Amino acid sequence: MAAVRLDEIVARFGGKLIGDGGRTIVQVASLERAGPEEISFLSHPKYRASLETTRAGAVILSPQAADACPSACIVCDAPYLYFAYVSRWLNPDRNNPPGIHPQAAVACQLPDSVSVGAGAVIGEGCVIGEGARIGPGCVIGEGATIGADSLLHAKVSVYPGCVIGRRVIIHAGAVIGADGFGFARKGDGSWFKIPQIGGIVIGDDVEIGANTTIDRGALDDTVIEDGVKLDNQIQVGHNVRIGAHSALAGCVGIAGSAKIGRRCTVGGGAVILGHISIADGVNISAGTLVAKSIARAGNYTGAVPFLEHAEWLKNFARLRHLDAMADKIRALEAQVARLADPGEMT
């Protein structure tokens, strides 16, 4: 995108401009690295020292930090979100030109606005929405649906019958609709595979990270509701349901039939066991093992067992002093023993 003026940014996104509205901006950057034609932001007080020395042409910040800014600034209540809007405006998505690459294999009718990359395979009976972009090497199974304006990066696999909504972004290597981990144990200890006949339904405005896997349902569908954001290398088991606008960080593992509420967050490496329910508005810290249902909103942290976050912090603070506490207990036990023994009193 061509350079924009600061007053144009404010006219588009709001906020209060302090400084030269005619200054041109060509890109976003961090406070430490930004130059005179770049805009940065300050959203956390711990970076205040970087603000004082920044060379940025402008900074997006809160009213409390405006007096310390050495350059032009845009004052707003949510600097990080405002920065995200500006960054998206200055860095629009790259639109692949419509058309089907000669090396793609397509067995269904596609709208003229769809882009299909080299080596992609789209099976019979698929429904691909207007403006969808199917990257190189993707495989879309028979009868799958991809909504309008969705983007599948290279080598995404969508199994037959899966339903993907509008404006969905799926990054390279993701697998949508593989069989869930369903087996029945036989009398001799071996395993008998249970057919996974459910599907997958993914809502609108979902983003799915690289190499993330979402298993199809055993009987009912696996459901990812609108606006969910999944990081890289997440495992979503069969019949899981993730509520709207929840966000899960990398390497989270969710076992089959777990239900996660709306507007939840799950930190990296957390594990959620199967057949449990998590209420709306729950925040689970990184590395937490969730072994039972969570009935109310809040912050939860820990492994064995997990606890409400504030309680876990209190207990962990005590855990750090266990050795000293053990020494005190042994000393008290010895003192009690001496008091209880009449021979010790003489």
Q: What pLDDT is recorded for position 315?
A: 81
Residue 305 confidence (pLDDT): 66
Question: Facing residues of 58 across strands?
Answer: 39, 72
Q: pLDDT class for 346, splitting at 50, 70, 90?
A: low
Q: Whole-prediction pTM value?
A: 0.85
Tens-place pLDDT, residues 199-248: 999 999 999 999 999 999 999 999 999 999 999 999 999 999 999 999 99
Helix locations, 14-152, DSSP H: 48-53, 79-90
DSSP 57: S
Among 38, 32, 25, 64, residue whose Cα is nearest residue 51: 32
pLDDT band at 124 (very low <50, low <70, confident <90, very high): very high
Q: How far apart are CA 242 and CA 260, in angstroms?
A: 5
- Note the pLDDT tens digit of each residue in 48-60: 899 999 999 999 9
144 CB-near residues (< 8 Å, 6+ apart): 123, 126, 127, 158, 159, 160, 161, 162, 163, 164, 177
Q: How many CB atoms lie within 10 A of CB 102?
A: 6
Query: Considering the domain 99-310, what is its CATH architecture?
Result: 3 Solenoid (2.160)
The whole-angstrom separation of Cα 288 and Cα 102 is 48
CB 199 within 8 A of CB 179: no
Query: pLDDT band for position 1 (50/70/90)?
Result: low
Which residues, including other chains, have CB under 8 Å from residue 145's CB and lie 6 or more apart?
126, 127, 128, 162, 163, 164
* CATH class of the domain comprising 4-90: alpha beta
Residues linked to residue 183 through DSSP beta bridges, in sequence order = 193
The 3-state DSSP class for residue 226 equals coil
Question: Which token pair is 119?
Answer: 């080596």
How high is the pLDDT of residue 157?
98
Whether pLDDT at 95 is above 80: no
Predicted confidence (pLDDT) per residue in 256-268, tens digit: 999 999 999 999 9
Find out whether 173 and 191 touch, Cβ atoms under 8 Å: no
pLDDT tens digits, 176-196: 999 999 999 999 999 999 999
Determine contact, residues 96/115, Cβ cutoff 8 Å: yes
Q: For residue 179, what is the DSSP state?
A: P
CB 112 within 8 A of CB 94: no
Closest CA to 65 of 57, 55, 75: 75
What is the residue extent of each domain of the chain? 4-90, 99-310
Active-site residue list: 238
